């Protein structure tokens, strides 16, 4: 059912999270969410599809899109707009920033407290701030 080696306990925990959001547990949805939880490379739909179908076919592309849509709707995953033309997904929903390597394109998560509180001097009048995200660019450790 799944090419990840996860304990039964963790499997239950993941399912519990999904149930708590009112989602029906299907093998496809579980595979997508579990896969996303176990990687930190902000994969595209294509990449998720390849990994979960690696050993034996489990989900179609349409189902991956569908699973991601509901998972996003209930707030278990979010999409990241860091790449041209493709949407990438992330199951890490606690606030954090992103570092993009301009050499190899790698995307690294940056803990929220790696940056201090953002000093906002002046927001245009009438604007209400609800959140922010910083995108850092440069060279990663491997480049």
Partner DNA sequence: TTAAATGCAAACTATTTGCACGTAA
Partner DNA sequence: TTACGTGCAAATAGTTTGCATTTAA
Instruction: For residue 19, state whether it binds DNA (rule: CB under 7 A).
Output: yes
Closer by beta carbon to DNA, 23 or else 77: 23
Closer by beta carbon to DNA, 72 or else 110: 72
Q: By CB under 8 A, which span of 4-12, 16-24, 51-59, 83-91 interacts with its own copies?
A: 83-91
Handedness of CA 87, 134, 71, 90 (dihedral sign): positive
Q: What distance in Å separates the CA atoms of residue 23 and residue 15, rounded to the nearest whole number? A: 9
Contact 120, 129 (CB under 8 A): yes
Q: Where are the alpha helices (DSSP H) in 6-114?
A: 8-20, 27-37, 45-52, 61-73
Q: What distance in Å separates the CA atoms of residue 34 and residue 15, rounded to the nearest whole number? A: 9
Instruction: For residue 110, state whether it binds DNA (rule: CB under 7 A).
Output: no
Number of residues that bind its own copies (CB under 8 A): 41
Contact 59, 67 (CB under 8 A): yes
Instruction: For residue 29, state whether it binds DNA (rule: CB under 7 A).
Output: yes
50 binds, among DNA, its own copies, none (CB under 5 to 8 A by kind): none
Site residues, DNA (CB under 7 A): 19, 23-29, 44-46, 58-63, 65-67, 69-70, 85-87
Interface contacts to its own copies, rule CB under 8 A: 79, 81-85, 87, 99, 102, 108, 110, 113-142
């Amino acid at each position: 059912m799944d090419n990840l080696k996860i304990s039964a306990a963790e499997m239950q925990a993941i399912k519990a999270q999904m149930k708590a959001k009112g989602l029906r547990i299907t093998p496809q949805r579980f595979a997508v969410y579990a896969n996303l939880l176990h990687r930190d490379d902000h994969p595209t739909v294509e990449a998720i599809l390849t990994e979960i179908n690696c050993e034996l076919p489990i989900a179609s592309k349409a189902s991956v899109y569908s699973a991601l849509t509901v998972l996003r709707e209930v707030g278990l995953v979010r999409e990241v707009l860091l790449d041209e033309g493709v949407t990438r997904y992330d199951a890490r929903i606690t606030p954090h920033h992103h570092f993009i390597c301009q050499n190899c394109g790698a995307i690294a998560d940056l803990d929220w407290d790696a940056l201090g509180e953002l000093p906002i001097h002046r927001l245009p009048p009438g604007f209400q701030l609800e959140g922010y995200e910083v995108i850092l660019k440069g060279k990663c450790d491997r480049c």
